[in-house]
Chain A
Amino acid sequence: MLGNFDFDVIRRSLPYLFYEGMTFTLTLTALSALGGLIFGTAIALMRLSGYKTLGRIAGLYVDFMRSLPLVLVIFWFYFLVPYIGQWLTGASRPISVGAFASSLITFIMFEAAYFSEIMRAGIQSISRGQPAAANALGLTYAQTMRYVVLPQAFRNMLPVLLTQTIVLFQDTSLVYVLSIPDFLGAASKVAQRDGRLVEMYLFAAFVYFTISCVASFGVRRLQSRIAIIR
């Protein structure tokens, strides 16, 4: 039965799949996670700031982002950003942003909502005595956050942040709606060109599975190592 399949198509397309596709996927994952973490932390700090308006704005943002399907946001953002750019800069025509920049901004915005909830939990897990002790030493709010609270919150939440990044790694495949050749997009292009849908999609699934599995295993090991240090 397997005789009808041509698995050699995988070997032939490997350079394209990995040099173009996987590079794109990993770059997008890494940059989105980094940006999401930075903005997510900012949103978490806004929510915990004690300024009601600031907290409410951040809360609305998180709720809004979490109530929309990611595909829809990617799709809309791709079409909207050029017009927003035009409106902001006052240019005469929509600004071309490019599929990569557009999808990166979308993922950062989207992940910021998720990372902010993780960081918020992390910050709240630090006992109130810690910021009190830092304040008592004369550290300002910003210094207390930077040197005392956030390093601990980040360390406590590292396994969860990394797990969310693995989910993000899989979610980046949704950029297919913009027909960007990420790993899955590249695989599907080859699949359709050569009429080898089963082989290519099987292979893509295998690659996503392997990478995610290995990464999850790594996170678990890291988790137990952190647990010993504490």
Chain B
Amino acid sequence: MIEISHVDKWYSSAFQVLKDCTTSVAKGEVVVVCGPSGSGKSTLIKCVNALEPFQKGDITVDGTKVNDPKTNLPKLRARVGMVFQHFELFPHLKIIDNLCLAQEKVLGRGHDKSVTKAMMLLDRVGLKEHAQKFPAQLSGGQQQRVAIARALAMDPIAMLFDEPTSALDPEMISEVLDVMVDLAREGMTMMVVTHEMGFARKVANRVIFMDRGEIVEDAPKDDFFGKPRSDRAQKFLSKILSH
């Protein structure tokens, strides 16, 4: 579904954020990307739907080459859902309109159909009764669940999560993770940048560990948590699992 091969990215000629990154996410697979901050994991995931450009290598999503100048990027992005660290709901629109905007303007769905779809998804994330509120009236966890529903409203073929729980208060993390676990169990293809190792243990098929722009380890979940091969991954794991 997602093929990333030999991707290099420089912010300036001196600073390389991604070094020869190669990996893939198969249909229905859940891949967790972790690593210390500044390791390039968010940058990598943003390259997948071309929110970040990269200079070398190729990324293919469902057969479409992301870095081909002829690719219709809006069309491609409409098929890949993305959830951001800071939710990025549109603050000037009601929750329901946040969910309907892209359905109507991008997919060309009728208003009634969009509303039905939106309400179904809001119900699914447990926020049906908040449809007429504005994002600022919701808690962080609720906003992030709305953001997931907004992405799902586009009927994506895959979902990208960029540290979806990092900006949340601890007591709100689980309500977001629950939604993500359900999604994973339903067979959604997911690429998730997160430090939530509990989530990784529960639903991930593979774990990718990144450090200084490189993919240091790319292993099935059990191998990764059982016996990470690299020192850096071991160190990282011992730091975040020790408490």
Contact = CB atoms under 8 A, between A and B. Distances in A.
A119 to B, nearest CB: 16
B92 A152 contact: yes
A139 B88 contact: no
B105 A143 contact: yes
Interface stretch (A68-76, A105-113, A129-137, A191-199): A129-137
Given A135-B74, A139-B74, A139-B106, A155 B92 contact: yes
A176 B7 CA distance: 65
A138 interface: yes
A147 interface: yes
A130 to B, nearest CB: 6
B75 A138 contact: yes
Given A137-B77, A138-B77, A230-B136, A129 B88 contact: yes
Interface in B37-93: 49, 51, 73-75, 77-82, 84, 86, 88-92
Nearest to A137: B102
A140 interface: yes
Contacts of B119: none
Interface in B140-154: 147, 150-151, 154
B101 interface: yes
A95 interface: no
A218 interface: no
A148 interface: yes
A148 B89 CA distance: 10
The binding surface of chain A is classed by DSSP as helix
A15 interface: no
Given A143-B105, A148-B90, A230-B91, A137 B84 contact: no
Given A147-B101, A230-B136, A138 B90 contact: no
Interface residues of A, number: 20
A140 B88 contact: no
A90 interface: no
Nearest to A132: B51
A126 to B, nearest CB: 10
A89 B154 CA distance: 51
Most buried by B among A130, A133, A148: A133
A143 B106 CA distance: 9
B90 A135 contact: no
Given A137-B151, A138-B106, A147-B101, A132 B74 contact: no
Given A147-B101, A152-B91, A230-B136, A138 B86 contact: no
Contact of A136 (B77, B101, B107): B77
Given A130-B88, A151-B92, A230-B91, A136 B49 contact: yes
Contacts of B136: 230
Contacts of A133: 82, 84, 88-90, 147
Nearest to A156: B92
Interface string A60-72: 0000000000000
A138 B84 contact: no
Nearest to B150: A137
Contact of B102 (A129, A139, A151, A230): A139
Contacts of A138: 74-75, 77-79, 102, 106-107, 154
Contact of A129 (B75, B77, B78, B86): B86
A163 to B, nearest CB: 21
Interface of A: 127, 129-130, 132-140, 143, 147-148, 151-152, 155, 229-230
Interface of B: 49, 51, 73-75, 77-82, 84, 86, 88-92, 101-102, 105-107, 134, 136, 147, 150-151, 154
The 3 closest A-B pairs by CB, nearest first: A138-B78, A133-B88, A137-B102
17 contacts: A129-B86, A132-B84, A133-B84, A133-B90, A134-B102, A136-B77, A136-B82, A137-B151, A138-B75, A138-B102, A138-B106, A138-B154, A139-B102, A139-B105, A147-B101, A152-B90, A152-B92
Given A136-B81, A148-B90, A155-B92, 17 more contacts: A127-B86, A130-B90, A133-B90, A135-B77, A137-B78, A137-B102, A138-B77, A138-B78, A138-B79, A138-B102, A138-B106, A138-B154, A139-B101, A139-B102, A139-B105, A147-B90, A147-B101
